[in-house]
Every structure is written in C-alpha cells, then in structure tokens.
C-alpha cells in the first residue's frame, strides 16, 4: 500500500485509527503489531540523548528501530547504513554519501538513511531523494522530514520517500498574541489552557495544551506579527504570483523560517 491516500490529512485527529464497526478477530492474540521484519512500527528519535552505537542493539533487541544520530561520526553512520541499519544525515551529508554515482556504495545488504532536518519542505530534499533512488532504486530506504503540510507529504512520497516524519514545532509567539477558539472568541496565547480548542491550519479546531512563552530574539513580521526566528510561515515567491490560483497554490507554496523571510522575494499565504 502506498503512502498516499485519497483524503488529504491535516492533523493528528484526522489520522487517528478508526476501528471497524464489526471485527472478525476472536482473540487479541490474533492482533500482531509486528511488521515483516518482526519489528514494532516504532522508531527512536535520532538524538544523542536517546541512542548511540552503544545502545543501538538494545533497541533492536526490543524490536524497536533505532536511528543513529548525526552526532555520531559520519564514517560510523555510513557503516550502519550499508548494513541496512538506520542512521541520520544532514542534507549535505546525504548528498555526498548517496547521490554521487562515481562514489556508489555497496548496496548488497540494502541501505537505510534518514535525511534529518527541521524543514523538510525544501525543494532540494525532493531532488536528493530522486537522485539517490536513481542510483540505488529500491535498495535504498529513505526517511525524510520533518514536514507540516499534507501536500508536501504527497510530493515527498511521489519523489520516492519510503518514510516521512510529520510534525514541525510551531514556533513561539509573544504574550498577547490572539488565538482563535472554537466558539470564534479569542484568547491571548499565554492564557491558553489544556482542553481549549484552537483553530488549526485547515480551519478545524483541535485540543491543545498551554504554550510556553519565549521572549528572546524576537522578529516582527509586517509590523503586526511578532515571533521567534524559527517560527515557520507559509509563503509563495513574488515572481510566481501571476501563475498562482486557488487550484495550484499548493504547488508553489512552502514553509520558511521567519528569520529567512525576504520582503523583496516572499509573500505570506493567508490561511483561511
């Protein structure tokens, strides 16, 4: 089964598993969560506070996929990848390791690699996935992310990504930023409480927890929005404006951090 479904999903609520009305299962022993490799569908976070060369096998023994983080030496990570074991890479490292035909690696055992970046919306991610797949085909398994738009999920899947990490930290806004609630009233962000339903990217309302206010290194956007430098905004390039309509805007829009916004190049996309 491919990654892409007919419905476009937006939130964790949308992708929650909905049980069938009637089941033919007679006993819970019949429910086997393991995949074809006899592993659980669980991955460790690629963080040095979670996994390294010393405890990697321990996670594997517990039927959990471990991912060697980028803090481990490049050579060690590469040795894991060509043994069909997960390791994480920066965008530049992935390009060097897997996208050069002249330096083709041993693929006999299969290769696993995670492009571990915060912004999986960059066009270069698509280009590198295609390049690696052109060289190794199905012998390389690629995980990418993070992303926060269902249409990006679709593009990455079509490019050849095998696993996609969903969810990007929403960034931070200053105190007294208005947040729209489900009853169409507004609250200041610092007053949001666990259990409040706030408006999401697709116009629906999801329950959210209390946000932590951060006030350092703030950026002001259009003299009206103040946020941290890493908060992402959906934009289009000004030069593409004449080509865009409501049917193709998702082909041109992408997310970019506030600190990288350029008033001479970008236009913010208003989310309805």
Query: Mind listing the pLDDT tens digit for each residue in 187-207?
Result: 766 666 777 777 654 455 666
Average pLDDT over residues 45-70: 92
The answer to which of 68-72, 114-118, 223-227 has the lowest mean pLDDT is 223-227
pLDDT at 135: 97
SS (H, E, C) the chain: CCCCCCCCCCCCCCCCCCCCCCCCCCCHHHCCCCCCCCCCCCECCCCCCCCCCCCHHHHHHCCCECCECCCCCHHHHHHHHCCCCCEEECHHHHHHHHCCHHHCCCCCCCEEEEEECCCCCCHHHHHHHHHHHHHHHHHEEEEEEEECCHHHHHHHHHHCCCEEEECCCCCCECCCCEEEECCCCEEEHHHCCCCEEEECCCCCEEEECCCCCCCCCCEEECCCEEECCCCEEEEEEHHHHHHCCCCCHHHHCEEEEHHHCCCCCEEECCCC
| Res. 168: pLDDT tops 70 | no
- Alpha carbon distance 102, 182 (integer Å): 56
Q: Domains for the chain: give ranges and CATH numbers.
A: 32-166 (3.20.20.70), 172-213 (no CATH), 216-272 (no CATH)
Largest CA distance in the chain: 63
Question: Binning pLDDT at 50, 70 and 90, where does residue 18 land?
Answer: low
Indicate the average pLDDT of the chain. 81
Residues whose CB falls within 8 Å of the CB of residue 201, separated by 6 or more in sequence, listed in order = 10, 11, 148, 149, 271
State the burial class of residue 221 (Cβ atoms within 10 Å of its Cβ: 0-12, 13-18, 19+): middle
- Alpha carbon distance 62, 122 (integer Å): 35
| Res. 169: pLDDT tops 60 | no
Share of the chain above pLDDT 70, in %: 75
Residues facing residue 201 across a β-bridge: none
| Res. 48: pLDDT tops 80 | yes
In terms of pLDDT, which residue wins out, 86 or 41?
A: 86
Q: Are 179 and 192 in contact (CB under 8 A)?
A: yes
Average pLDDT over residues 39-46: 92
- Alpha carbon distance 120, 164 (integer Å): 9
- Please tell me whether the overall predicted TM-score, pTM, comes out greater than 0.75 for this model: no
State the burial class of residue 219 (Cβ atoms within 10 Å of its Cβ: 0-12, 13-18, 19+): middle
Question: Binning pLDDT at 50, 70 and 90, where does residue 39 land?
Answer: very high
The answer to which of 16-20, 33-37, 70-74, 256-260 has the lowest mean pLDDT is 16-20
């Amino acid at each position: 089964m491919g990654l892409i479904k007919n419905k476009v999903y937006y939130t964790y609520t949308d992708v929650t598993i909905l049980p069938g009305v009637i089941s033919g299962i007679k006993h819970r022993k019949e429910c086997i969560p393991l995949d074809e490799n006899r592993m659980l569908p669980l991955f460790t976070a690629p963080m040095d506070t979670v996994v390294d060369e010393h405890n990697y096998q321990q996670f594997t023994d517990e039927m959990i996929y471990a991912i060697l983080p980028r803090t481990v030496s490049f050579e060690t990570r590469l040795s894991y990848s060509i043994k069909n074991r997960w390791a994480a890479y920066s965008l530049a490292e992935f390009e060097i390791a897997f996208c050069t035909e002249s330096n083709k690696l041993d693929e006999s055992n299969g290769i696993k690699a995670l492009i571990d970046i915060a912004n999986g919306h960059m066009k270069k991610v698509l280009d590198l996935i295609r390049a690696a797949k052109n060289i190794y085909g199905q012998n390389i398994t690629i995980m990418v992310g993070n992303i926060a738009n269902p249409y990006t999920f679709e593009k990455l899947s079509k490019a050849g990504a095998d696993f996609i990490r969903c969810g990007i930290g929403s960034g931070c806004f200053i105190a007294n930023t208005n947040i729209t609630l489900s009853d169409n009233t507004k609250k200041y962000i610092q007053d949001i409480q666990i259990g409040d339903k706030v408006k999401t990217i697709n116009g629906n309302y999801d329950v959210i927890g209390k946000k932590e206010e951060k006030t350092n290194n703030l950026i002001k956007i259009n003299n009206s929005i103040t946020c941290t430098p890493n908060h992402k905004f959906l934009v289009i390039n000004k030069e593409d404006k004449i080509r865009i309509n409501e049917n193709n805007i998702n082909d041109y829009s992408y997310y970019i951090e506030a600190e990288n916004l350029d008033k001479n190049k970008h236009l913010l996309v208003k989310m309805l």
